[in-house]
């Protein structure tokens, strides 16, 4: 069965001009992504996670290895402009800085930008704008100027701009990094909604563990290699390798881990705040029970 995205020994190096030694950002990455998945990609700064995102959208071309995107194979030779265009309409991308990706001076005209580029007829652009703004909950701001919006709202407009292009997959390249907690929640809620309700493939590149925990699958990248790949529960249970590559586990998980290092009988694989609290409560009540017995 063929996958939606498949990378085979994907390698990317940058620099290397003027006789300098090239720097390897990704080496030998092989992974598969199916349609409809909700994946978080974790990694510390410089781990190569953003490079992976840029390769998926053909902003970068692999140095070695290849990526297959919806049946189209990208090799180090690159693709023709029309083929690039075809790939990009399937994979949308939302970036980090909400200010630097909005083009127009009115929200709805910005959302129209993508469909206009695709050559969508005028009446259909109108429908797509309305649907996209409704999906991200920004309908009432359609005629507003983007610079008057909050960070989270701007990022939702940027997402609407991508949704209106009707891609199969959206890559969020640290799209929550510059937002306040409220904005981050707005954006992650939108991602989840797109995945659950519209069946869109979501790739969320982040370094916030709590956000990654909401995905169905977590891929940890360190030094350009895939370190872990599994469900959030599997990945976050392995606190040691996470800490070793400069990441952290969700706070609760890390607390349980530290306590279990001290010899307390605590379970692993608890990732949400509630689960961790339950585990602690169980432990404490158990203890109390014991002391009463004695």
- Out of 122, 140, 292, 293, name the contact with other proteins by CB under 8 A: 122
Short-list 84, 49, 62, CA closest to 203: 49
Binding mask 70-89 for other proteins (x = CB under 8 A): -----------x---x--xx
Q: Does 172 bind other proteins (CB under 8 A)?
A: no
Counting contacts by CB under 8 A, is residue 244 touching other proteins? Answer: no
Report residue 280 as tokens: 């602690």
Residue showing tokens 């809620």: 189
Nearest to other proteins of 66, 130 (CB atom): 130
Cβ burial 257-278 (10 Å sphere, 16+ → b, else e)? beeeeeeeebebebbbeebbee
43 or 98: CB nearest other proteins:
98
Residue number with CB closer to other proteins (44 or 126): 126
Candidates 43, 161, 224, 232; binder of other proteins (CB under 8 A) is: 161
Q: Hey, how many other C-beta atoms are within 10 angstroms of the C-beta on 69?
A: 25
117 makes contact with other proteins (CB under 8 A): yes
Long-range contacts of 278-282 (CB under 8 A, 24+ apart): 280/255, 280/256
Which of 18, 140, 143, 263 forms a contact with other proteins (CB under 8 A)? Answer: 143
Of 62, 65, 92, 183, the one binding other proteins by CB under 8 A? 92
Phi-psi region for residue 279, left (φ > 0), alpha (ψ -120 to 50) or beta?
A: alpha
């Amino acid at each position: 069965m063929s996958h939606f995205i498949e990378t085979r020994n994907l390698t990317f190096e940058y620099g290397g001009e003027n006789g300098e030694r090239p720097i390897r950002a990704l080496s030998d990455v092989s992974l598969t992504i199916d349609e409809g998945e909700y994946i978080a990609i974790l990694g510390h700064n410089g781990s190569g996670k953003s490079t992976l995102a840029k390769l998926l959208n053909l902003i970068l071309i692999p140095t070695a290895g290849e990526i297959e995107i919806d049946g189209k194979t990208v090799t180090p030779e690159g693709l023709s402009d029309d083929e690039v265009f075809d790939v990009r309409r399937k994979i949308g991308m939302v970036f980090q800085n909400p200010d630097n990706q909005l083009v127009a001076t009115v929200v709805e005209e910005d959302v129209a930008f993508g469909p206009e580029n695709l050559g969508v007829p005028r009446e259909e652009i109108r429908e797509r704008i309305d649907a996209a703004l409704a999906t991200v909950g920004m309908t009432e701001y359609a005629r507003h100027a983007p610079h008057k919006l909050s960070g989270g709202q701007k990022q939702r407009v940027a997402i609407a701009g991508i949704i209106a292009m009707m891609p199969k997959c959206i890559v969020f390249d640290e799209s929550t990094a510059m937002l306040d907690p409220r904005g981050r929640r707005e954006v992650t809620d939108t991602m989840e909604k797109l995945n659950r309700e519209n069946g869109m493939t979501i790739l969320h590149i982040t370094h916030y563990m709590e956000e990654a925990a909401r995905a169905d699958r977590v891929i940890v990248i360190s030094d350009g290699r895939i370190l872990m790949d599994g469900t959030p529960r599997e990945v976050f249970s392995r606190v040691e390798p996470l800490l070793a590559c400069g990441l952290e586990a969700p706070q609760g998980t890390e607390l349980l881990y530290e306590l279990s290092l001290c010899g307390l009988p605590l379970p692993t694989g608890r990732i949400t705040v509630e689960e961790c609290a339950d585990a602690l409560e169980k432990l404490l009540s158990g203890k109390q029970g014991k002391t009463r017995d004695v």
